[in-house]
Structure 1
Amino acid sequence: MDPATAPLLANSDQDRREEEQQEPGSWVREFGTESKKLWKLAGPAILTAIFQYSLGALTQTFAGLVGEIELAAVSVENSVIAGLAFGVMLGMGSAMETLCGQAYGAGQVRMLGVYMQRSWLILLTTACLLVPIYVFSPPILEFFGETTDISQAAGKFAIWMLPQLFAYAINFPIQKFLQSQRKVLVITWVSGAVLVIHAFFSWLLILKLGWGLTGAAITLNTSWWLVVIGQLVYIFVTKSDGAWSGFSWLAFADLWEFVKLSVASAVMLCLEFWYLMILVVITGRLENPLIPVDAISICMNIQGWDAMIAIGFNAAISVRVSNELGAGNARTAKFAVVVVSVTSVAIGVVCTAVVLATRDYFPYLFTNSVAVAEETTKLAILLGVSVFVSGLQPVLSGVAVGAGWQRLVAYINIACYYIVGLPAGIVLGFTFGLGVMGIWGGMIGGICLQTAILIFVTSATNWNREAAETESRVKRWGGEIANQSIL
């Protein structure tokens, strides 16, 4: 038996006996304690997601006040070009959640700064590889059916937004670095302050001074770099309780292993991130697509705001699982998964009830068209199902990131989303003539299948073995060099 695993495996029977002996009141108190820890992480993470999501949304709103072509340019660049880059960067940066969280839990605090620098190297290189997509975005957009005028305007705006791409590359490793140490309030305060500044200067440059798209690009780029600078100032000044010891040549060590985990994280997240984006594209292939596309866009807008809650819990459970596994607390990691799952399901039930109860009213917040509103009302049932399932699914993905299962989940996503869900949606929508209801229904089936598999994987997990593997990973990746001097 591996000496590293023996103590943990030996305690498994004892942990089980302790669980069996616990009284209901004790379990409730433990649930409350874990819930407080969860919300301390999830609350600020939800606010951060809303603040950062609002940067692009606010720019889009001000651009819409200038003119239709400006609105289209910002909307297409923000949702398609920048959305693609956002998914890739956030996904690759998620490797930091696994490594930093587990190293922090194991007490290898100094390695967090090294991991962040490795992630910077990888993400900056990836950003350079994504530059051609920005440069050649007009023909790419036209290839997917966008009009020439909108493609040219969005392409011009995309080139101006290249600084944002490199801000993504720096920002996401920083956020994972701070999140793994539970310093989520720092990110929230910085993002909130930048949003206030962004709102004022967007009004000033885009509307008051009449700079239009130029003003939009200046304010959005500047705002994202202010987020980066604000967080870096905090890290460099405070040293983040020893997690930052300066730049180090160790950042160039073990890069290939780091790249593999980063790519697996990116594939896992992008397969999820792009899945529902494809829904809008496929709906546009229907006969007379204008009303269905408008209706599905309204539903995606609602789900986008609801997703901010799921993103917060995703970050929170990733931190809790990685920290506890790094510390060797297998039972606590398992219990944290139970608590976050129960909490997410409860919130999902409430959000679903709100959607269904207001399905005759909320469409008119986004449109004056009776036809679009009626189509949106029809889709509200599927929106409710999607909101419910999407409440638990990101949480289980967060568990996977915290435990380091990115590669496994990537395979599950490919099978459930693109081998089952997407073909089922196309068949139901086009072959059986069910239209947008069939397309979305089939794709929701893929999400339900993926969620069911993740529930099974999580339930069947031997958390003592996961803790032992985490200890081995931390030693292999950082334990032997953690005491070396950092330049």
Structure 2
Amino acid sequence: MAGNSGHRPIPAKAADIAHDIASSLAQSFRASSPLAQELVARDIAECSDDDVDTEVMEDESESEDETGPGPTLYRRPSNIAFGSTRPVLGPGGLHEPILSKIERTRSRDAERSLLRDNHILPPKHQLAQHPPGPLTSLYKRVFSTKVPRKASDEEGSQIVAAHGERSPLLGRPRLPRIDGVPEPDESAAHEHLNEQWEAAVAAGQIKTTWQREAKTIAIYSRSLIVTFLLQYSINVASIFAVGRLGTRELGAVSLATMTANITCYAPLQGLATSLDTLCAQAYGSGHKQLVGLQLQRMTYFLFLLLVPIWGVWLSAEPILAALIPDQASAQLAATYLQIILLGTPAFAVFEGGKRFLQAQGLFHATTYVLLIAAPLNIFLNWLFVWRLGWGYVGAPWAVAITQNVMPVLLILYVWRIDGSQCWGGFNSKAFSNWGPMIRLALPGMVMVVAEWFAFEILTLASGRIGVAPLAAQSVLVTVTSTTFQIPFPLSIAGSTRVANLIGAKLVDAAKISAKVTFVGGLIVGVFNAVLLAAFRYQIPLLFTQDAEVVELVAQTIPVCALMQLWDGIAAVSHGLLRGIGLQEFGGYANLVCYYLVALPISFGLGFGLHWGLIGLWSGVTFGLLLVSIVEIWFICWSDWDRAARDAERRNATG
């Protein structure tokens, strides 16, 4: 995929032009890092020198002395908000937090692993005395991450790698290996990992294999998949609990959930993404307590925005009644919104607190919280809806309580486990310097809301068809959003890996990783498609027993199953664009395909030709197919060497 991009000048020139256009558009749409630098600089100017956390600086200084300032291969996963559906746009150019000692260790381990795979460092374990059996040989041939060794590279490869800027040009000759045991000088090379790494990269010795990349991406994505599924289960539990109450209740909960997403959750998530930059730069400045200050400032801002949102939700019934013909569904949806309103302040705190911890490299805190909150939410839905007999209103009460529990658990994590070092107490400075923060936050909100709005339109359109189609739409959106929680984390893992390799100037390795990610997305898409097609009649029975709704879902699922192929490919393609720093192109491609192609086709087929839900989902499926084709073409013809140079320039100026 992209393997010959550097040898086809005309398409590469077209890709460069598209890149320049996308970059120029992005600059007018997306806030840049100087806004964050301006805000952090203002805060630092107001702080005394006593506020500087010298421990961070000393730790980094010690780490630099030990290993040198060489390249770091490991980079933490992308700060994309957990629980998103299909984010068409993602903010780029964010400054990552400075690496902690643990992360530097991971970086060095990743570098050592690649050096071993390329036979530059001795193997981690002593080689076996006896030749392996046929099964062992076959297993190693298929799954080994080692780069095949050429006879011409047998001699001298380690000598080249061992000589870095600080190594003597003339060393004593390398003695032969005896029974696979490295000479003392070869083992001592571990102390000069930076020199070896830089020399090997400069000499073009670092290669990778699809086995290595598959293993790495699988490790990156497995915890993300669990986290995304746990986060999304909070919404799914309500739909499962309410669906068996009746068709109208099932449609109403879908309408209420999508309305809550587009009017509250998506805007708050989008605005909070600015903390990915603000908290990171505050942490990197050495003023740890400024991280807590940024959290307070954003939290107060989100609280202020909740006031008009509450006004809309409290008067939601007449608004929804004007959009859909069924008044009873509008009333039930409004009731749902008015109850979960009690959990929105906690949601704002959780979104900010999550990024407060991510800036410190504490990414697993959110997973730990969800491991408690998600089962609690399932239990509360069962307790309120069925055990206590509250019926429909039990589901929103379960969501509201769960949303209030999540920030409490996050605070307990900070207090008792880790993260409190960046909390300096409540500060009156949190009510000042809002201007740069708002300018940085607004583009993130637009990026997130754009995607949600497209699916809100489809939900409202299905409500115009009737009560049963609205209920069926609830099932279809839930199923397709659940299946998306697999390729989307895979795309984040692929994005992270490709970006790491591009940043280390390993372009060929990055292309191999991209191919592995693409194949992974295709495999996931096929798996999801087969799963939906095989259980087209069983899946709707998990939500409802209504025969009409079950039949509508079963008729539409084949279209949704076909969509899974393009959904998986589009997800990983956009992840690869993020990895090479060209995510703006993918963002605008998604916007054009969704709003100028997919939605018009959906309305034309659904209402013009009276295809109903099949027509609505056919338009989305064709839009995703178009997105996949456009993004794959752009990735294949992009100049990856230029992406590596751009990454090197950003690292140098960052």
Category of TM-score, reference length = shorter chain: 0.7 to 0.9
Q: Which of 451, 459, 463 is the matching residue for 1:272? A: 451
Match of 1:356 in 2: 533
Partner of 2:477: 300
How far is 1:195 from its partner?
Answer: 2.8
Cα-Cα RMSD: 4.3
Q: Say if 1:367 and 1:60 are closer, same or farther in 2 by CA, change over 3 A.
A: closer
CA contact (8 A) 1:265 1:407 kept: no
C-alpha distance in 1, partners of 2:422/2:377?
30
Corresponding pairs, count: 454
* CA deviation string 1:32-74 (max 9, x = no partner): 45325413xxx33322333333333334444567777766654
Residue of 188, 196, 208 corresponding to 2:367 = 188
Q: Secondary structure at the match of 1:422?
A: helix
Contact 1:180 1:319 (C-alpha < 8 Å) held by counterparts: no
- Structure 2 stretches lacking a partner, 5+ long: 1-69, 72-196
Give the CA deviation at 1:170.
Answer: 1.8
Q: Does 1:463 pair with 2:463?
A: no
Q: CA deviation at 1:142?
A: 0.5
Aligned to 1:347: 524
1:63-117 CA-partner distances (Å, limit 9, x unpaired): 567777766654542332356422222333334456667998x897947555544
Listed as ranges, the gaps of 5+ residues in structure 1 are 1-6, 476-487
Matched, 1:313 2:495: no
> Matches of 1:227 and 1:391 in 2, distance apart?
30
Within 2, Cα distance between the matches of 1:80 and 1:442? 22
Match of 1:57 among 210, 216, 236: 236
Distance 1:86 1:216, change over 3 A: same
TM-score, length of structure 2 as denominator length: 0.58
User: What's the CA shift string for 1:311-334, capped at 9, x where partnerless?
Assistant: 433554566678x49x95454895
Say if 2:581 and 2:643, in contact at 8 Å, map to a contact too.
no
Preserved CA contact (<8 Å) 2:606 2:615: yes
Structure 2 residue 611 is matched with structure 1 residue 421 = no
Tell me, yes or no, if the aligned pair for 1:264 and 1:406 is still in contact at 8 Å.
Answer: no
CA separation in 2, counterparts of 1:435 and 1:116?
46
Structure number with bigger Rg: 2
Q: Which residue of 1 aligns with 2:306?
A: 127
Q: 1:446: which partner in 2?
A: 623
Q: Which residue in 1 is equivalent to 2:92?
A: none
- Cα deviation, 1:134-187, whole Å, max 9, x if unaligned, reads 122111110111533333343234223223222222222333444566644322
Higher mean alpha-carbon deviation, 218-227 vs 328-337, is at 328-337
8 A Cα contact 2:243 2:544, kept in partner: no
Whether the 8 Å CA contact 2:251–2:473 is kept in 1: the answer is no
Do the aligned partners of 2:217 and 2:494 also contact (CA within 8 Å) in 1?
no
The DSSP-based 3-state class of the residue aligned with 1:155 is helix
Letter in 1 for 2:228: A
Aligned to 1:48, which of 206, 213, 227? 227
The answer to which of 174-183 and 351-360 deviates more is: 174-183
Q: Hey, what's the Cα distance between the residues in 2 that align with 1:396 and 1:251?
A: 39
Q: How does 1:388-407 map to 2 (within 5 A)?
A: 388-397=565-574
**Greater CA deviation, 422-431 or 450-459?**
450-459
**Residues 455/252 of structure 1: CA separation in 2 closer, same or farther (3 Å cut):** farther
Contact 1:98 1:401 in 2 (8 A): no
* SS at structure 1 position matched to 2:486: helix
Instruction: Answer with 236-245 or 415-424: which moved more.
Output: 236-245
Conserved? CA contact 2:325–2:463, under 8 Å: no
Closer, same or farther in 2 for the Cα pair 1:128/1:413, shift >3 Å?
farther
Change beyond 3 A, Cα 1:340–1:268: farther
Amino acid of the structure 1 residue aligned with 2:647: A
In the aligned structure 2, how far is the partner of 1:306 from the partner of 1:143? Answer: 32
Helix, strand or coil: the match of 1:274? helix
Shift of 1:433: 4.9
Q: Match of 2:8? A: none
C-alpha distance in 2, partners of 1:371/1:73? 16
Distance in 2, Cα, partners of 1:257 & 1:46: 34
Contact 1:103–1:109, Cα closer than 8 Å, also in 2: yes
CA-CA distance at 1:409 after TM superposition: 5.0
> In proportion to residue count, which structure has more helix?
1
CA distance in 2, matches of 1:109, 1:412: 39
For the Cα contact (< 8 Å) 2:246–2:544, is it kept in 1? no
The equivalent of 2:184 in structure 1 is none
The letter of the residue matching 2:481 is: G
> TM-score by structure 1 length?
0.75
Q: In the TM superposition, what is the alpha-carbon distance from 1:190 to its structure 2 partner? A: 1.5
Identify which of 319, 329, 339 aligns with 1:160.
339
Q: Which of residues 267, 272, 282 is equivalent to 1:88?
A: 267
Q: Which of 220, 244, 250 does residue 38 from structure 1 map onto?
A: 220
Assess if the C-alpha contact under 8 Å between 2:244 and 2:545 holds in 1. no
1: distance between equivalents of 2:479 and 2:589? 26
8 A contact 2:317–2:333 mirrored in 1? yes
Relative distance call for 1:198 and 1:446 in structure 2 (3 A) is closer
